[in-house]
Structure 1
C-alpha cells in the first residue's frame, strides 16, 4: 500500500448477524482493520470466532458500554470505538457501521473512493430545503432543537417503551417550568443518522479532552444524541463535508421503514447505486437471500460456483 494509511471499520453490534460476518469477510484486506463494540448486555464470547475468519485485517474489541436506545450511552460506545482505533494505529478514515450493514462495493473500490475524497467527511446532515417530508427520519427544526433544549435523563435507564411514556410527562413539566438548556448559548443543533465516515483530522477534534467536555455538557441527558453530536460538531468546527446528494455514502431507505429492511427484490436497486459504498438495513430473519446475493456478487462468483458454496457459506 506504499505510504497510504489504512482505514478503520468501526462496528456497533448487539447480536451476531449474517450481515456482520459478511461485512468482515468482504472488507478483509490490506486496506482495513476492524474495531467492534459489543453491547455489554450481549455475550462477547459469541463474537470471538470473527477473529478467525480474516486473512489480512486485524479485529479488535473496544471497551464495552451498556447501550440504551436514545441515550448518551450510544455516543459513549462510538467514542470507545474511536479511542480503540486511535490507540491501535494511524488510520485516514473511521467508518461507523452497525451489525446490520454491509458494503455494496468491492473492498478496493471502497478504499479508493474514500482515499480519493480525503479530507472530506461523509456525514448525513438533514437538508430542510430538499428533504422528503414523508421520510420517517424527517423532523422540523424546532423538534430537533428540543432534543437538547430539555433534559431526558431517563433515556439511559428505561427501555424504549418506558422512555416514550416517561418522556412525555417530563417534557410537559419542563415546558411549564420554561426549562431551556440552550438559553444564552448561540448554537444550532443539527441532525442526521449516526452512520458516517470521518477523517483522522475530525476525529482528532472530537477526541480532544476539552471538546469532549463541551460535547458532554450539551448532549448528555439529551434525546437520541448519536443523531446530533457529530453533525453539530462538524458544523461548528467547519470541517470539510462531502456535499453530494448522498452525504454519508450510505444507501438507507427511510421512506419505507425506520429504516426499511432490504429484500431480494431490491437487489438491482442496491447494486446499481453509484453514490453509496455501504447500505443498511439487512436482517437474515426477514430476507436472507439479499445478503447472500450481495456477498456473491461482490466476490465475483459465477452462478455455478455460487450454488456450490451457498449451503456451506451461509449456514450459521
Structure 2
C-alpha cells in the first residue's frame, strides 16, 4: 500500500530536509509545492522515495483562497500519478512522530478511514465572518504598515460592516464545518475533492481562511462522513499534534520531546531550525 506525502513549503528549508529524510521510504512518494515567493528553492533529493517538485507554483497568501489552490495542485498531481492508498497533507515544518513501518501498519489496520480534524466549539460567528461575507483584497490579509495596506484594511472592514448592517449573507445553504487543514485521506476521498475543485474556487473566492473549512465541509456533506476516523476530537481525528501558545502555533523544543513521543499522533507541527535539536531526537527515536 503506497502513500503520497504532499508538502506545502514556504520557509525553513532545514526542517524540510529533515522531514524528507524521515519519510524517505520506498513505500512513499513525495510531492512538494514551493510558494512562488521562494526565490531559490533548495535541492531536494531522496534515496528511496519518489520525489516530484511542482513546477507550476502558486503565490500563496495567508487567509486567501490561494492556499486552497496550492492544496488542490498537490492533490491533483499525486492523484494523476495514481497508485496511492493514502495521501498525507503536511507543511514543510512538520515531522512524523512514528516510524514508517508504524505509520504504514496503522493505515493498513484502519484502511478506508478518513483522517480529518473537526473543531468542536461553536463556529457560527466564525463561519458567518469568514465564508458568508465578501472580503475585499483577500490576497493582502497579512500586509500591514504601508498606507496602501492600511487603506485596504479600512475598506475591507467597512465593507464587512456594511454586510452585517444589511444582513447580507452568501453561501447560505451550505452546512460549513472547520478544523485544521492537515489531513490524511484515501484515494477515493481525494478523487471526490477534485470533482469539486471549480466549485470550491467559486464558493471560497473572497473568503477568509477557507483552507480550514473546505475539506471538512465537503466530506461532512457526503458519504465520506461515515468513514471519518474521529469527529469528536480534532487532534485525534487527523492524528496531528499541534500545540498553541498565546493564540499562536507553538514551536516545539527539546523540552517537549517526551510529550511528543508519548502522543498517539502520527505527525506534529511546527518545528523550526531554532530548535533543530528536538528534530534530531525524533529522527533517532523513530529510526530504532
TM-score, length of structure 2 as denominator length: 0.90
Partner of 2:113: 120
The 5-angstrom pairing of residues 163-178 of structure 1 reads 166-178=155-167
The 5-angstrom pairing of residues 1-316 of structure 1 reads 4=1, 6-43=2-39, 45-47=40-42, 49-51=43-45, 54-62=46-54, 63-128=56-121, 140-157=123-140, 159-161=142-144, 162=149, 166-183=155-172, 185=173, 187-208=174-195, 211-239=196-224, 240-243=227-230, 245=233, 246-255=236-245, 257-273=247-263, 275-285=264-274, 287-300=275-288
Unaligned ranges ≥5, structure 1: 129-138, 301-316
Aligned residues of 2:12 and 2:272 also touching (Cα < 8 A): no
* C-alpha spacing 1:295/1:166, structure 2 compared with 1 (3 Å): farther
The runs of at least 4 consecutive aligned structure 1 residues that moved more than 6 Å come to: none
Q: CA deviation at 1:104?
A: 0.8
Q: Please give the alpha-carbon distance, in whole angstroms, between the structure 1 residues aligned to 2:86 and 2:238.
A: 13
Q: CA deviation at 1:46?
A: 2.8
Q: Please give the alpha-carbon distance, in whole angstroms, between the structure 1 residues aligned to 2:260 and 2:153.
A: 34
Q: 1:143-167, CA deviations, whole angstroms, 9 ceiling, x for partnerless residues?
A: 2232111011411245443476554
Aligned Cα RMSD in Å?
A: 1.8
* C-alpha spacing 1:258/1:164, structure 2 compared with 1 (3 Å): farther
Secondary structure at the aligned position of 1:189 is classed as: coil
Aligned residues of 1:69 and 1:160 also touching (Cα < 8 A): no
Q: Please give the alpha-carbon distance, in whole angstroms, between the structure 1 residues aligned to 2:78 and 2:202.
A: 24
User: Which segment drifts farther, 287-296 or 6-15?
Assistant: 287-296
Report how many aligned residue pairs link the two structures. Answer: 276
